[in-house]
Every structure is written in structure tokens, then in C-alpha cells.
Chains A and B, each alone.
Chain A
Amino acid sequence: MTPNTSPYLSPNKMLNWSKKNLFSSWVNTIMTVIALIFLYEVGTFFLNWAIFKADFINNFRGETITDRTFCSKNIEVGQHGACWAIIFVRFHQFMYGFYPVEEAWRVNLVYAFLPFALIGVLFDKLPLRRVFLYFTFAFPFIAYFMLYGGPGLSVVATNKWGGLLVTLFLGVTGIALAFPLSILLALGRRSNMPIVKSICVVFIEFIRGVPLITLLFTANVMLPLFLPEGVKPDNLLRALVAVTLFQSAYMAEAIRGGLQAIPKGQIEAAQSLGLNYWQTTRKIILPQALKIAIPPIVNTCIGLFKDTSLVLIIGLFDLLGIGRAALSDITWTKLYYEVYVFVSLIFFIFCFGMSRYSLYLEKKLKTDNS
């Protein structure tokens, strides 16, 4: 943090501010000039490409773009920018994958209710938090029923799922399933039973020592080998298993950090009152440890969310996978940058949002403790 970071004050202050932050010395002034030129060059190039000279739905002749040959830049080479039509035309795929169009409302409904399932977990001072938390617990079942189908709803097999749906499904479900597992692992790692402890240590260090892609491969290739013949988990489920195990190891380490921060006196006080191990853990240790551990937990969640993109390597169509699929469609091929920029932007929005939330929590934790 530097003093006077905000330039939006009175003109006088603005002058002072720029003197201090932009022109404090001749070196600084040269740097400012270089930076301005750089910003101008990059800014105009990018804005022209992405907005001013770009196609959205129609090309410069006013025709609706239905394939790449209609893109302005393919008609007048070198004159035009991005051709965003690929995103608009294939928007359904980006959001839902190959989910039947007439059933897409089910996914939308799940998307719409997702914030309500999260809000109770995220903000501890929320009015009626308890009600929201009940909803959080019920949500996975509702969501599963809505997405997959069942009595009253037609079944949509998971190989039809794709795009943001798969990214969010793996991210959210992976995190939700990993959470209880990671608590057990973290507690186990601090247990004084040598065997329980070593199992947890070996598991955590193993998972953290290998790349996620090898776990995904293993789950993909070997899970069917391990299981009886009749049981054939579909590809999405295999990826989910790998992602959950992966996330649980990282989360467990974050939680262990929180556990270590709890003074021994807390445990002793609880014991001296007659609380047993699980009561002490549930009522005294975990509430305090998790509160401390939430910022690092959120950071692992950001990591996981980004890492869900790896499932494209085992043939699932997450957001990035759908983008690649769009590029391999002969009618849209070669619009790489449009697709990659769009996919990046979606990932950025989610991850940046989570990192802001984590910062907010860290600040809150600091003020709570002082």
C-alpha cells in the first residue's frame, strides 16, 4: 500500500499525487512516458481487435455471420478484428455442452440456485444463515436430479454435459466432496495413532507429489480395472474421483495449518470440562481452525477450478475442451484467439472473484482478532 494511491481527489491533490507517483525524478518521468506509450500501443491494438474493429453478430456488410467465411476479417484480410460470432453461435455449447437445447432450462435453474447454495457458506453474518445452510446441504441432491434427470425428468447422460457445466460441476462437486475428506485427513495427520497418521501422511504427500494429469489418467484407465465388471463409472465420474482426491490432499494441508494455530490450552480446557475427542474436535477445534484456514482453502479452490481444464486431456469437454471442439469444427476453425480469450475471461472472472473473496476474509480475520 502506498500513500495517496487514489488520484480521484481535488485538482491540487491530483497534481501532488502525480508528482509523487509519476514524476518524482527524471528516471520516474521516463518510466511514465514509456509506460504510457506501451499502454497506448497495447490498449489501442487490443481494443480495436476486441471491440471497435470486431464482428459480433453481423459482419461489416451487415450479414449475419453463420460460419467463418462471413467473418469480416476473412473477407477483407487485415482490415478487421475479432470475430466473436463463434461465441454467440455456439453459446449453448459453451454453457451446456451437448445438453439438449429443450432441456437447457434445467441447467439454468441449477446455475440460478447455485449462488443461494453458496451464500450461506460464504458469509457468516448472513440473516437466516441456517436456512441457507440447509439449502446448501440439499442442493447437491436437487442439482443432481435436475441435471441428470430421474422420475419426471428425462435422463441426460453425462457424456452430453460440457462447457461451463462440466467445469462448474467438477469444481463445485470436487470441492464439496473433498471438504469432509480433507478434514478427516488433516485430523488423521495430527492423530497420535501411528498407523492412522502414517496412512494420512502417505496419502497427502503422494497426491501432492504427482501431477493431477497422472491421477486423471489413472482414474480414467485403471478405475475400470479395479472394479467389478458390472460397475462402469462414466468418464465424468472418473474425473470427479481424481479431482476430489487431489483437492482433498491440498485442502487437508490448508486445514492442518489452521489446526496448528489453535493453542493447546483450548483442547485442555475442553478436556477438563469432560468433552470427549469428537466433541472437542467438533465444538472447539474445527470452528476455530477452519476460520483461520478458509483463506488458504479458497486459494486451493482457485487452483482446483483452474485445474479442471486438464480433463480435456482425457477427452472430456469442459469449457476449454468445448472451445477446442469449436476450433476443430471446419466451419469455425482458425478463430483461436476469439475462443481462447473468451474462455480465459470466464476463468478469470471466477478465479479473480474467489481471490478477492479470500482477501476479504483475510482482512476480516485480522480485524476480528485485533
Chain B
Amino acid sequence: MEQNFIRKLIFDEKTRALLIQTLVIGIFAVLIYLVTKQTAYNLEKRGIGTGFEFLNIAAGYDISISLIPYDSNDTHLRAYFVGLLNTLMIAVCGCFLATIMGFLVGIIRLSSNWLFRNIAYVYVEFTRNVPVLLQIILYYTILLHLPKVKQSIIIFDSFYLSNRGLFSPAPIFKDGFSVVIGSLIVMIIFTFFLKKFLKKKQELTGKQYPIFLINSALIIFTPIIFYYLMGMPLEFDHPVMKGFNFKGGMVIRPEFLGMLFGLSIYTAAFISETVRSGIISVSKGQREAAQAIGLKANFIMRLIIIPQALRVIIPPLTSQYLNLTKNSSLGIAIGYADLVHGFGGISLNQTGKAIEIMLIVMSTYLTISLTISFFMNLYNKAVQFKGNI
């Protein structure tokens, strides 16, 4: 009887699974218990309390780049948001630039010109096989050794590049610009439905519509028309040299530029590879694909193929965006005031709340990652089920 019981416990598929899982939970519970107990003891001994009250204490340090008003009297919580916004800003800008560069390089990699093709290949191999941190530091060093403000490099008469960063005209939005933006948003939504409508019609009547061209034209030209209709409600404040520095305009600091270049040049190499393989997989046969640029007709073909290839490209592209966002945490190496640098670094050192702060920082990144993955999965499902997007 007893033997039967033991036998059932060990050899029954279900009870065994239960047993193993209980054991796993048990081990975890014990581990967590031991660690928490030890941590509490250690913290007490060092006189560090726990809790999140510190978030409401004045941070006491300055942050060089801030999208929202901030000074050293503001709280750690506000410093957190400043850092978070800076992280998001560099991530968004980086993804944007990386995408443009990546697509460009990816297409050049398929150029019919042997030299272009191989120059792009060398670029890809050199940038993706060198740590992004090293590249960020390198580009930042180059930026810091640009000419002084007085001898700024002038680009297009309105941008001034110097070792203090890039001085550029600042946009001033006047009344009515929101209408232009509004028209853009409305158009994007409209074209989405138009596409569905035309697809349906196409299925019913068999008549083919150049959906992509129609929609691109709508999205590009409608805001332009509205811009002129509203009396061009956008002006620029140009930077002017006054004494040793510029007045007016806006400045993009070298830390930001260093991060931007490092992240986007590095990520663009990976993006270009996904673009390249995406295009190859869509255009029939590699031989045909290898004749991209160089011929006008082929270039147009490329423009038609890319929208199709997007479906293949977008999943790996999002994972590159994720990587870029995570890599933006390297700002600390050159003093870019992102989440890890300010809140995760300086706040941590000042308050000593290592556990709380790392918890907040990690959860933040986790939230960003999971959000991106979530939309990624939605997209994948949409592609899988409808077969078309």
C-alpha cells in the first residue's frame, strides 16, 4: 500500500510534474527568502532605509539636456522624467536616422555598380563588428575636436558646427501650424481606409489601382497645400554669433550628436542587412535584385519592391529598434543625460537607494521593450491572418 503510494508519487506523470514544480517553487521561495533577509540585514547595517520617499526629495544636480523645465531644486522624480524623455528622444531620433541610413545602404548593397556595392559592404562589416560603445566614444571625440565656435563649419548658411555642438535655426510655430499637422494626421488615417476600400473594390471589379502611389501623394501633398493655405505658419529663429558664442536658434549638443551618430551608424549596418535580404526575398531571383541602382527604370522598380519587402523587413527592423533603444543607455559613457546616466547614476549615488532605483530603471526599459514587442506581435498576427497589410 505504502509502496504503491510512493510509486504513484514518483512515477505518475501528473504527480511527478506537480512534485517537480512544487520543488522549483520551494527552492525559489527559499532563495528569495534568504536573499531578502540578507539584504535587509545588510541594508540595516549600512543604515540605508528602503522605500520610495526619496523620489520627492530635491535632486540637487543639474542636467545639461532637458526637454521639460528642470533645475537642481526639482525632485528625483522629475529628474527621472527628464532622463526618460532624453532616452526616448535619442531613441526616436536614432531609429529615424538609422532607418534612413539603413535603407540607403541596403539599396546600395544591391547596386549594379561593383564599387558602390563593395564600399557599402565594407561600411557594414566595419561598423557592425566594432562595439557600439567604442563608436559612440569615437564619434564623440571627433565632435569635441571640431573647430572652436569662432571657426565653426557653416552648412547651408544656417547651421554652424563646432566643438560646442550644432547650432541650428529653431522653428517657431505660429497659429495655424496645428492645422497643417492635423491635415497630415487626418490624411494618414484617411489613406488607411482608402487602401482597404480600394483593395475591396479591386477584389470585386478586378481593376488595379496604384494604391501606394495614390496614398503617398495624398500624405505628402495635402499638408503642403494646407501649409500655403494657412499663410506659411512656420518661421525660423536663426543663430547669430555674439561675442564668443551664438545667440538665438537652438543648439544640439555634442553628447547628443555623438549618441545619435554612434547609435544610428551602428544600427544602420544591421538594418541595411535586413533591408537587403528583404528585397532579395521579394524580387524574384537574386540576379535581378543585384541590378538595383544604376538604371533609372530599376530604381523605380526598387521603389515598388520596397513597399512589398516591408512586410519581411519590419519584424527584424523592430528588433533593431529595440536594440537601439537599449543601447541608448550607453549615454553614460560620454555624459549624455539619459535615464541611466542621471537617475540611474547620479541619483543612485546621492541617495544610495540602489535597489529601488535599479528596479525603476529596469522596469522602465522593460515597459518600453514589451510595448514595442506587443505592437510587433499585433503586426505579425495581422500579417499572418490577413495575409496582406
Contacts and interface: CB of A to CB of B under 8 A. Distances in A.
A195 B360 CA distance: 26
Interface in B67-117: 111-117
Given A193-B20, A195-B21, A310 B42 contact: no
Nearest to A352: B129
Interface stretch (B154-162, B230-238, B301-309, B365-373): B365-373
A226 B129 contact: no
A101 interface: no
Contacts of A27: 293-296
A213 B348 CA distance: 14
A32 B115 contact: yes
Interface stretch (A35-43, A158-166, A284-292): A35-43
Nearest to B43: A225
B129 A196 contact: no
Contacts of A199: 24, 28
B365 A352 contact: no
A312 interface: yes
Interface stretch (B132-140, B190-198, B208-216): B132-140
B57 interface: no
Interface residues of A, number: 60
Interface in A16-65: 21-22, 24-25, 27-28, 31-32, 35-36, 38-39
Interface string B279-306: 0000000110010011110000000000
A320 interface: yes
Contacts of B138: 336-337, 340, 344
Contact of A211 (B117, B130, B290, B340): B340
A218 B358 contact: yes
A209 B21 contact: no
A214 B38 CA distance: 22
A348 interface: yes
Given A213-B330, A310-B330, A355-B129, A3 B42 contact: no
A351 B43 CA distance: 42
B376 to A, nearest CB: 13
Nearest to B319: A208
Interface stretch (A69-77, A301-309, A361-369): A301-309
A122 interface: no
Given A21-B113, A35-B115, A195-B21, A309 B134 contact: yes
A320 B130 CA distance: 11
A214 B28 contact: no
Interface string B113-128: 1111101000001101
Nearest to A213: B329
Contact of B327 (A21, A210, A211, A221): A211
A222 B359 CA distance: 11
Interface in A218-267: 218, 221-222, 224-229
B252 interface: no
Given A195-B24, A340-B141, A344-B134, A225 B355 contact: yes
Interface residues of B, number: 57
Interface string B39-54: 1001100000000000
A214 B340 contact: yes
Nearest to A4: B114
Given A214-B344, A313-B333, A347 B131 contact: yes
Contacts of A195: 21, 24-25
A302 B131 CA distance: 10
Given A24-B112, A24-B294, A306 B362 contact: no
Contacts of B369: 208-210
B188 interface: no
Contacts of A340: 134, 137-138, 141
B134 A347 contact: yes
A365 B284 CA distance: 24
Contacts of B116: 31, 35
Given A209-B369, A222-B358, A22 B115 contact: yes
Nearest to A353: B129
Contacts of B344: 214, 217
B24 A226 contact: no
A351 B129 contact: yes
A39 B119 contact: yes
A351 B290 CA distance: 27
Nearest to A305: B131
Nearest to B108: A31
A211 B91 CA distance: 13
27 contacts: A2-B112, A3-B287, A25-B294, A27-B293, A31-B111, A31-B116, A32-B113, A32-B115, A38-B119, A196-B20, A209-B370, A213-B332, A214-B361, A214-B365, A222-B354, A225-B43, A226-B42, A306-B129, A306-B130, A306-B131, A310-B133, A313-B330, A313-B333, A320-B131, A320-B134, A340-B138, A344-B130
Given A31-B116, A337-B141, 8 more contacts: A28-B294, A35-B115, A39-B119, A193-B20, A229-B42, A309-B133, A312-B133, A347-B129
